[in-house]
Amino acid sequence: MLDGSSPLTEEDRRLIALTEDKLRLIVINKADLHTDTIHIPEGISISARNGQIEPLLDALNELYEQNVLKDEPVLSNERQIGLLKLARTDMIRAKEAMEMQIEPDLIEIDIMAAHDHLKEILGEVSREDLIDTLFSKFCLGK
């Protein structure tokens, strides 16, 4: 969503360029305020403040009718994909451990690791996990 009341920022331009080959809807908000400050042919002008969102609803409906919008979940970045792969590896390890009749307490470790990775995809990270990540990724010193 772009702010239609002001010209495109460098970040806006970069995001538009990065998503050029992707399925996207470019929504230009504040249609009630802008006077042709943004020229994007495929842009959808709306005004959330005035409730003028019909063009966006129409575009979403069109995507739905074309069966572009599916019920399948989409992971939005490499980090989430990596976490899903880790969760899958944990579950495979747990399954193999069950087949080898390993102690349930040990199998639980892999299942809980998978659970934690899935929670992180959803943004459910505990404060302790966040601190551990900070210390493992960054050198915090004197």
Which tens digits make up the pLDDT trace of 82-115?
898 999 999 999 999 999 999 989 999 999 999 9
Provide φ and ψ at 44, rounded to 5°. -110, 110
Residue 65: its pLDDT value, please? 76
Answer yes or no: is pLDDT of 1 > 80.
yes
Residue 142: its pLDDT value, please? 46
* Domain assignment of residue 91, yes or no: yes
- How many structural domains are present in the chain? 2
Q: Are residues 61 and 19 in the same domain?
A: yes
Residues 6+ apart with CB under 8 A from 107: 94, 97, 98
* Domain assignment of residue 94, yes or no: yes
Given 65, 86, 113, which residue is the final one in a domain? Answer: 65
* Domain assignment of residue 128, yes or no: yes
Domain, as residue range, for 50: 2-65
* Domain assignment of residue 95, yes or no: yes
